[in-house]
Amino acid sequence: MARSRLPLIAGNWKMNGLRADALALARGVADGVRLAGWKDREVLICPPATLLIAVAEAVAGSGVLCGGQNCHVGASGAHTGEISAEMLSDSGASHVIVGHSERRADCGETDAIVRAKAEAAWRAGLLPIVCIGETLAEREAGRTLGVLEAQLKGSVPTGATSAKLVVAYEPVWAIGTGKTPTVAEVAAAHAHIREVLTGLASDAGALRVLYGGSVKGSNAGELLSADNVDGALVGGASLKADEFLAIAKAA
Ligand code: PGA
């Protein structure tokens, strides 16, 4: 892992957490991060939007960063039920996940929409984490690298730099399944992603590319050791403070 790329361990809580448990989890993560005193990695948690303000307050001063899981492309207006990047920022977020495969699948988010959401994040001063990843059928058809390339070219806005973008590679078949690619498969995907990014970002060598999909304490060390992996996007294992902190420790 190049020293210029500060590892980022991001927890995506998805649609999990009611106030009491979520605040206990946030405090657990904050306590662990405060104790560890890491200067060589970043730790981010992305709670449901309903909990963002409370979680941001609970972790204030610990070094733990907060992010949203999605945003609308607009800043405000008649979009019932939607949340803008500006609202996330106003609630204490510094980051926002865009284009997660669950949103691509459940909400029909296309590369063009993901790209517009990343631009909305920039407009609001947030750092977007753009997610890409192949399905099992695409992998079995030998199309993984082509799919990743097309998603990147469609989802990364013009003007991307390492300071303005994080990419997360999440094979759809590895999310929430307990299955992971081999370290060699992860390294091959990440090498290709970095190569494609060379044409999309002025300083692609410094841009962080996270791996996501069934990362847990026991496999984080191995997965994060793959070339060009600059951290993890963690779903299920981010819902337990000890497990999430073990992943952060492995970074
Ligand atoms: P998982 O989810 O860690 O539960 O596989 C990862 C993600 O969807 O970001």
Is the distance from CB of 215 to CB of 244 less than 8 angstroms? no
Question: Which class in CATH covers the domain with range 8-250?
Answer: alpha beta
Question: Is the distance from the beta carbon of residue 68 to the nearest atom of ligand 1 less than 6 Å?
Answer: no
Q: What pLDDT score does 4 carry?
A: 80
Question: Is the distance from the beta carbon of residue 175 to the nearest atom of ligand 1 less than 6 Å?
Answer: yes
SS3 109: coil
Cα dihedral 171→174→180→186 (10° resolution): 10
Ligand 1 atom 2: residue of nearest CA:
235
Question: Is the distance from the beta carbon of residue 235 to the nearest atom of ligand 1 less than 6 Å?
Answer: yes
Which pLDDT tens digit goes with each residue over 220-251?
999 999 999 999 999 999 999 999 999 999 99
Q: What pLDDT score does 27 carry?
A: 98
Nearest Cα to Cα of residue 239 among 111, 55, 38: 55
Q: What are phi and psi of 13, to 5 degrees?
A: -75, -15
Is the distance from CB of 62 to CB of 33 less than 8 angstroms? yes
Average pLDDT of span 37-57:
98
- Residue spans of the domains in the chain: they are 8-250
Nearest Cα to Cα of residue 170 among 14, 42, 56, 33: 14
Ligand 1 nearest-atom number relative to CA 238? 3
> Looking at the DSSP assignment, which residues form a beta bridge with residue 72?
84
Average pLDDT of span 88-93:
98
Ligand 1 nearest-atom number relative to CA 234? 3
Q: Which amino acid is at 249?
A: K
Question: Is the distance from the beta carbon of residue 213 to the nearest atom of ligand 1 less than 6 Å?
Answer: yes
Which pLDDT tens digit goes with each residue over 101-137?
999 999 999 999 999 999 999 999 999 999 999 999 9
Which pLDDT tens digit goes with each residue over 16-31?
999 999 999 999 999 9
High-pLDDT (> 90) share of the chain, %: 98
Nearest Cα to Cα of residue 229 among 146, 158, 170: 170
pTM for this model (two decimals): 0.97
Distance from the alpha carbon of residue 235 to the mean position of ligand 1, in angstroms: 3
Which pLDDT tens digit goes with each residue over 134-187?
999 999 999 999 999 999 999 999 999 999 999 999 999 999 999 999 999 999
Is the distance from CB of 208 to CB of 233 less than 8 angstroms? no
Helix-helix angle 144-155:111-123, to 10 degrees: 40
Distance from the alpha carbon of residue 199 to the mean position of ligand 1, in angstroms: 28
- Which residues have a catalytic role annotated? 100, 170
Tokens of 241: 């403070």
Mutate which of 215, 219, 240 for ligand 1? The one with the most ligand atoms within 8 Å of its CB, which is 215
Which pLDDT tens digit goes with each residue over 187-210?
999 999 999 999 999 999 999 999
Q: Is the per-residue pLDDT at 80 higher than 80?
A: yes
